[in-house]
Chains A and B, each alone.
Chain A
Amino acid sequence: MLRFAVRRILLMVPVLFGLSVLLFAWLRALPGDPARALLGEKATPASIAQVNATYGFDQPLLQQYLTYTGRLLHGDFGSSPRTGEPVLGTFLDRFPATVELAVAAMIFAITVGIPVGYFAAKRAGGLLDTIAVSGSLLGVVVPVFVLAYLLKIVFAIGLPGQVFGFSLADLAFLPSSGRQDPRIDATHVTNFYVLDGLLTREWDAAWDALIHLILPAIALGSIPLAIIVRMTRASVIDVLNEDYVRTAAAKGLAPSLITRRHVLRNAMLPVVTVIGLQTGALLSGAVLTESVFAFNGIGSYLFDAISGLDFAVLQGFILFIALVYALVNLVVDLLYGVIDPRLRTK
């Protein structure tokens, strides 16, 4: 197991190196002039030339790449000409927001998705199944910003009118955006706001951070939710038809025992893979969700960096994301070994 993990981590080195070369070439192919992106509409030809010279944008590409790689090997990711901030620091400032959101979204998707998928499979073809499956599709077929707006209007802003004597405006008890109420004077140690609140025992801050997570987590979690429901359902149906399950039933084992020991355990294997892959995908930054909910993580920042042709940030961030993504995949594979008994015997 350990040897395997080490081998995989070593394998990441050439992948990341390849990525850095590809990224460098690709980013330079983007249209536009980084100096102009920095200066905006007030740019003049002279000022553009000056800025290009200051930041070395006018040097030959190979030269630029060598400078970049040289610094990278010293662990220096450079800093953004737009903000004057080191790339690594900015990433560490913002990544907790993305992790927090991704984890919340996955918790939502898993806690709703697995039970729904399981019960849909038990009654496959029935009404419940149809409702569960098409309901879970909602997140996939509605563009995420539309879903986000609808959630916000109902649960944060409030609709006018009444239903059965119940005022719809009362539903609007959640915040519409951000990670925490700006008026709360919270101490931030780790930049994971919920965790910070717990660690510093500022319970109101933790609670506030938690309720700020609800709507974005639902909007972001709706896609993995649909996938988890489908995967759980398919996988449970598969397993229910396996011979060993029939044998177990024929042996007269209690249904609950069969469910626990045979069906769930085996059916969860592919689901775990999907959960892992989806987590990796969410960690790479949900551009739209972060932007719509002003949940300022790495996704929205990356998008700004593309608009601003901020090469240092783009290069650094995408390398970090690739690293995180590869690590998550590794963890999924290791986890796979833990839960799949067949892979454990050796």
Chain B
Amino acid sequence: MGFNRSFRRGLAVLAAVALTGTMAACAQSERTPEGSSSEAAGGDFVFSASSDPVSFDPALASDGETFRIARQIFEGLVSAKPGTTELDPLLATKWEPSADGKSYTFTLREGVKFSDGSDFNGEAVCANFERWYNWTGVNQSENVSYYYNNLFKGFKSGKTGGIYDSCAAGSATEATVTLKSPWAGFVQAMTLPAFSMQSPTALKQYDADNTTGSETDPRFSSYATEHPTGTGPFVLDKWERGQQVTLKRNENYWGEKAKVATAIVKTISDPKARTQALQSGEIDGYDLVGPADQKPLKDAGFQIQNRPAFNILYLGMNQKNKALQDVRVRQAISYAIDKAAVVKNSLPEGSVAAKEFMPSSVEGYNDKVTDYSYNLDKAKQLLKDANQENLTLRFAYPTGVSRPYMPSPEDTFTVIKSQLEKAGIKVQPVAAKWSPDYLDMVQSPGGTDKRDIHLLGWTGDYNDPDNFIGVFFGQKSNEWGFENKKLFADLKAARELPSREQQTPMYQKLNAEIADYAPGVPLAHPAPSLAFAPGVQGYVASPVQDEVWNNVTVTR
């Protein structure tokens, strides 16, 4: 027995040694030997993301972390001017709409090459437009190709009825895109990373559109996970899932080459852990700094950069509730809320009180809408007139979340709750975890009986009024629960106007109309902020997150 046992033990040890030996033999260090690498200039920039990217193909994504990385690898025809929402040329140096607003001719930058060496030209532009239009299967699903679905409305087959018609490459430096109907926001929409230009050669080589393993089982192609190929200042080096994405400088970039040799995007999902990682020097910067963290970070010598707010935080009202169908009650609630106090007591520095459902930088903003400035007496009087002096409202807010437009919902909720109570409205709190319950409660049919008022908001994708009020009030929705035929029709008409010049006065009128109708209370435009280590220079915060890191330098 004893022999037997030690024999077996010996065998086990032998097996273990053999296994380790084999593994060691297979394990080759992939490091480039010292000295031979090109790390003479640069160093690195480590930025922390809240989650992994979904993939590296921005056309098939809609989440911020995918776009953050895509903006380093890819470029669109146009971009937002650094720090603003205005249009800036990028891969297209000029663009010209046709008289009927249906086709756009882009003049392309010369001498630009994709990182795989192929040329960027008119044909490449058209290849991208054709690629999107020809998607089938899972690629047509809104969670995969959200932006194409929502802006171009349809595809060649399957979900048809899109507004894209055709694309023609006039020459190597010219491409003309033709639409089936006029769309004033077309060029603005081209600033979105979802519409950035990708290398047709690489797309084909790595089978980029082969997302479908099977209908119910989406898997991204090796293009989207390993070989994204664009014209941007960085190229993908490696992706360690759950840990980090490492980007290398694109040595052949046509513009200002990146100052750092590597840019690393490290995934840290816990917001507090991001702050601490910055404080202990593991990362050089992160996004969405909590309002309470700003002062301690500043005091310790870190830099805080506010993004110009391009968002709206609002108090939604659900008109399934009879009391809220009375415009006087909705106006009373508007007067009962002291927006300045909401900003001061619950939002970060740099936030501003809101007057309407879009920030002032959006075209169509109207400075002269009905202003419900804080007036407790008026609120009480209106409630009395409406015979609603004993009003109880269920007030829904999300937990476990921090959105760019809503950094600390609990605080905002508490401030508004105590203000409403001062006006004599009883408040019954309804809390739900952001994902999945809260969104379900606010937006699905099953949630309409669970809440009367709620907190929500929106961050604009690009400078377009329809991207704000069209989203909120364009049709009857579970969220607001009202049927205002005139408003719906007016919004539709405004969207379909062929040019910005015609749209702007129309949207100004619409903003006034909405303010009088008071479907909810626009609360504030909270300023999202970024934090950086003291030695980080050259990062320009953008209201639409159009931040490219080629000018970033880090001194330690």
Residues of A within 8 A of B (CB): 30-43, 45, 47-48, 50-51, 54-56, 67, 78-79, 81-86, 90, 93-94, 97, 149, 152, 156-158, 172, 175-183, 185, 187-190, 196, 199-202, 291-294, 296, 300-301, 304, 307-309
Contacts and interface: CB of A to CB of B under 8 A. Distances in A.
Interface of B: 23-24, 26-31, 44, 46, 51-52, 54-55, 62, 138, 140-143, 146, 149-150, 159, 211, 213, 215-220, 224, 240-244, 246, 264, 266-270, 272-273, 276-277, 279-280, 282-283, 400, 433-437, 439-440, 443-444, 456, 458, 471, 478
B193 to A, nearest CB: 15
Contact of A187 (B30, B138, B159): B30
A50 B242 contact: no
A183 B243 CA distance: 12
A293 B273 contact: yes
A99 B443 CA distance: 40
Contacts of B24: 199
Contacts of A152: 276, 280
A51 B142 contact: yes
A189 B23 contact: yes
Given A42-B62, A83-B52, A292-B273, A182 B27 contact: no
A195 to B, nearest CB: 8
A85 to B, nearest CB: 7
28 contacts: A32-B437, A36-B440, A37-B436, A37-B439, A40-B439, A48-B444, A50-B141, A54-B216, A55-B216, A81-B143, A83-B54, A84-B211, A84-B218, A84-B219, A84-B220, A85-B219, A93-B242, A156-B276, A175-B280, A176-B282, A179-B243, A183-B44, A183-B46, A187-B31, A199-B23, A200-B28, A294-B270, A296-B267
Contacts of B268: 177-178, 294
B142 A41 contact: no
Contact of A178 (B279, B282, B433, B443): B282
Contact of A84 (B54, B146, B216, B439): B54
A82 B213 CA distance: 15
A294 B27 contact: no
Contact of B29 (A157, A176, A181, A200): A200
B217 A78 contact: yes
Nearest to A172: B280
A177 B220 contact: no
Contact of B276 (A37, A41, A79, A176): A176
A187 B437 CA distance: 41
Contacts of A55: 141, 216, 218
Contacts of B211: 84
Interface-centre pick from B55, B269, B435 (highest chain A CB count, 10 A): B435
Contacts of B270: 291-292, 294
A300 B44 contact: no
Contacts of A32: 435-437, 439-440
A30 B268 CA distance: 27
Given A185-B31, A202-B29, A31 B219 contact: no
B276 A177 contact: yes
Contacts of B241: 85, 90, 93-94
